[in-house]
Structure 1
C-alpha cells in the first residue's frame, strides 16, 4: 500500500520513529510474536509497519508482512453491524421492531430474577440487540452450550429455550447478540452470511483477503496464535492455529472473520468517509452517524472488563468514547472502536479525521491484563505526534 508523507497530514517529521521504536521493543522483548500498525489521516495512509515473525517456533522463522492474514475475532462485529444497517436502509427492519418479529422463537422469553423466572417488562427491541442490551448474558454464560457447534439456526433454537439474564434495556453485557444479527441478516437477505458480506461489502470495497475461511493458497500468510505460559513466556498456542479452508458450518457474525490490515482499513475508511469509498456509497452519512451514537439507556454503562468503567457509550455494534478522561483513554472524543480476542484493535476518530489499526495474535490479547496495552500506547503516541494534549 502506498503511504504519504506524514508532514502533509499534520504529523511531525519524526512522528512514527518513536512509535515504531516502542512497538518493535515489545516484539523484541518476546512479549508478542509480531505486530502490525497502520495510521491514516484525511483518507491517506501515513504510517504502515510490520515487525516480528508469523510463528516463533518455525525454522527458519518467516517475517510478518503487511499482507499477512490475521484472525480478527470480534472485529467482525462492526462488519456485521454495517451489513445490518444496509438492510435497515432498505426497510427490512426498524430500530424499534421487536426482535421476535424477526425471530419468532424469541417471543415471550422469560427473564432471570434471582431464583425466579419473570416476564419481560418490555419486549426486547432490535436497537437493544444492536447494542448488547437486549437481555442476553455474557459469552461465558453460554460456554457449556457450545452455541457455535451447529449452524445459526441451531444457535437460535438453543437460545430460545434459555431465559434472559436481565430485563431488556437495563444492562449491557457482551454476549451472542451479533451472532444473532448474522442469523437475521441471512433471513432478511435470503443469502448466507458469507455471500451477503462478499457481495455487498468485501468485493466492492476490495477486501480480497477477508472471509470466514482462508484459501489454501494463502495459508503461508497466516499469523499463528500465541499465548503466555504460567511464567509469562511467549509460546505457540497449539491446536488453536488450525484454520478453515472451506466454508465453516457456523458463520460467526460475532467473531469469525480472517483479514489483512489493508482490507480492514478500507472498511474503516469507508465509515470515516460517511459511508462512501472510492466513489461507491455503502451507507448514508446519517446512518453511519447513528452507528456511533450512544443508544444505551441512562445509567447503563459499557463494562467489558470492569464494572467500574465509565465514559463509554454504545451504538450499532460500536463502542463510543463519550468522555476520554472518565474512560481513561487517550483516544479522541467521539471516536468509535472495537477489538478482537487475539489483540487486534482499531478506532475511527471523526473529529481528527483519523483511522488507527493494529494487528497481533495472542490469546486474551485484547484484555488489559492479558497482553501489553497496545491500544492505549498507540493512542497516546499517535495523538502526541499530532500535537494533541492528553485527555
Structure 2
C-alpha cells in the first residue's frame, strides 16, 4: 500500500504498511537506561495474587530489553489481583513510571465492553439477539452483497437481514479498513467509514470525510455493499461500531453515556475514557511504531490526539483505559455479572455472552494479525470476543473469553479456573512480540495448577 494512503485510511494498520513514510517524519527513540525491577501494586480492598514469578520475569523483560518503554499487567485469581509494572510511559528520559493507573489505548479491547452493553439491553428486553438491525436503522432493510469483491462494486440483494448477533460476532458481512481490500476499501474511505484514531495527522484527514455522529455513521454504512451474505462468514469488521449506534437507539441514551451509567460507574471504572481529560494527560502512555527494531513515537501522551473528543464514540476501538479498570470489567464477568456487591448483568446473561454465538455453520478462523486476539483452533466467538471451545492442557479452560487491541494490549478471563489477565503496552504492530502467547503461558504456569 502506498504511503499516501495513511491520511485517507487513518488506521494503525495503515500506518504499519506505510512505515517508511513515518520513519522519514519521526525521530528514532533515544537509548534509555535499564528499567527498574517490576513492582506489585495491589488494588484497594483486594488480596494480592501470590507466586507470580514467571509473569513478573516476563513483564520485567519487556522493559529491560526495550521491547516496550513500559508495561503493566493485572493478573487476577478469584477475588485477588496483582499489578505488575516495569518501565515508563515513554522512552524519553524522565518519563513517568508505568503503574496500575496508567492510561493505554486499548483499541479493539473496546469491543467486549460494547458487546456487553448490548447484552444488558438484551437482558432487559430492549434488544433481541436475533433482531434485525433495520428495526433501528431502516436503511439496513435492503442490503446488497458484492458479487466479486476483488473486481468491482457490482452487487445483488442480500437474502437475509443483518442481526444483532451478527454485529457482535463479525458475521454481518461488513468490512473494515484494516482488513478490507479492493473497491470496497475505496468506498469505505470515501464515505469516511474509519471509526478509529491513530495519530493527529491521520485523524485530521479522516475528519474531513468521517460522519459527525454515530447515527450518521450507521446510516452511511447501510448504503454500502456487504462482502458476504449476513450470517455466513466470520470477517473482522466495523460490526461493534454499528452496534454502538444500535445501543444508542435501543436505550434512548447516547452510547457513551450508556456505557458510563451501566458499566463504568457501577464497576467503579474511574480511568476509562473516550476523551482523556487534559488533567490526566500525565498518565497517558505514548504510542509508538516499530520499524524493524527501532521504535518511533507517533502519538506522544502529552499531546495525544486522545485529548480531543472523537468524531463520535467508537464502539470498536475508541477507549483509553487503565489496567486496573479493565481488570474490574473482567472480574465482573468472572463473577457472573457482579462485583463488590453490585450487579450489572445476570449470570445467565454473562454465560450467554461468553458462549459461542456464531451462526450455525460459521467457523471462527482465529484472530486477525495485529488484533491481539488468541490464535489457534478450537475457538468460537461470543459477544465481541473469542471463546475457547475446549480445555487447553496447561492453559485456558473451555469458556475462556477475551480479545486484544491493535497496539499490543491483551485481556482474557477464564471463568472455570477463575483466572484473568490484562496486559497493557502501546506499540505497533501489536504482534511485534509474542506477548499474548508468552503472557498466557506465564500466567498459567504461575496460577493454573
Q: TM-score higher than 0.5 here?
A: yes
Aligned to 1:12: none
Distance 1:279 1:86 in 2: 18
| Conserved? CA contact 2:334–2:418, under 8 Å | yes
Runs of 5+ unmatched residues, structure 1: 8-14
Distance 2:300 2:220 in 1: 27
Distance 2:139 2:300 in 1: 35
Distance 2:165 2:140 in 1: 15
| Conserved? CA contact 2:412–2:422, under 8 Å | yes
What SS does structure 1 have at the residue aligned with 2:280?
helix
Distance 1:65 1:212 in 2: 20
What SS does structure 1 have at the residue aligned with 2:234?
coil
| Conserved? CA contact 2:395–2:448, under 8 Å | no
Aligned to 1:10: none
Summarize the alignment of residues 17-56 of structure 1 with structure 2, pairs less than 5 Å apart: 17-45=53-81, 47-56=82-91
Aligned to 2:189: 144
Structure 1 residue 299: deviation in Å?
4.4
| Conserved? CA contact 1:75–1:338, under 8 Å | yes
Deviations 1:161-199 (A, max 9, x none): 211100111101111100001111111222211211111
Structure 1 residue 51: deviation in Å?
0.6
Structure 1 position 125 matched with structure 2 position 188: no
Distance 1:216 1:245 in 2: 6
| Conserved? CA contact 1:30–1:234, under 8 Å | no
What SS does structure 2 have at the residue aligned with 1:227?
strand
Structure 1 position 203 matched with structure 2 position 265: yes
2:286 maps to which of 224, 228, 237:
224
| Conserved? CA contact 1:212–1:248, under 8 Å | yes
Aligned to 1:380: 441
Structure 1 position 79 matched with structure 2 position 117: no
Aligned to 1:317: 384
Q: 1:314 to 1:387 in 2, by over 3 A?
A: closer
What SS does structure 2 have at the residue aligned with 1:379?
helix
Q: 1:174 to 1:324 in 2, by over 3 A?
A: farther
| Aligned CA-pair RMSD | 2.2
What SS does structure 1 have at the residue aligned with 2:306?
coil
Deviations 1:126-173 (A, max 9, x none): 211221101112333245243232221232232122111001111011
With 312-321 and 293-302 compared, the bigger mean Cα shift is at 293-302
| Conserved? CA contact 1:292–1:320, under 8 Å | yes
Distance 2:174 2:345 in 1: 28
Summarize the alignment of residues 163-312 of structure 1 with structure 2, pairs less than 5 Å apart: 163-229=225-291, 231-238=292-299, 242-245=304-307, 247-296=309-358, 297-305=360-368, 309-312=376-379
Deviations 1:231-271 (A, max 9, x none): 32123225796233354322101111111111111111111
Distance 2:290 2:160 in 1: 44
Runs of 5+ unmatched residues, structure 2: 1-42, 196-209, 370-374
Distance 1:181 1:161 in 2: 16
| Conserved? CA contact 1:194–1:211, under 8 Å | no
Structure 1 residue 121: deviation in Å?
2.3
Structure 1 residue 387: deviation in Å?
5.3
Distance 1:387 1:179 in 2: 35
| Conserved? CA contact 2:77–2:447, under 8 Å | no
Aligned to 1:4: 47
Deviations 1:58-103 (A, max 9, x none): x423211221111111111111111111111121111121121121
| Conserved? CA contact 1:172–1:303, under 8 Å | no
Structure 1 position 360 matched with structure 2 position 425: yes
Q: 1:40 to 1:335 in 2, by over 3 A?
A: same
Query: How many corresponding residue pairs?
Result: 371
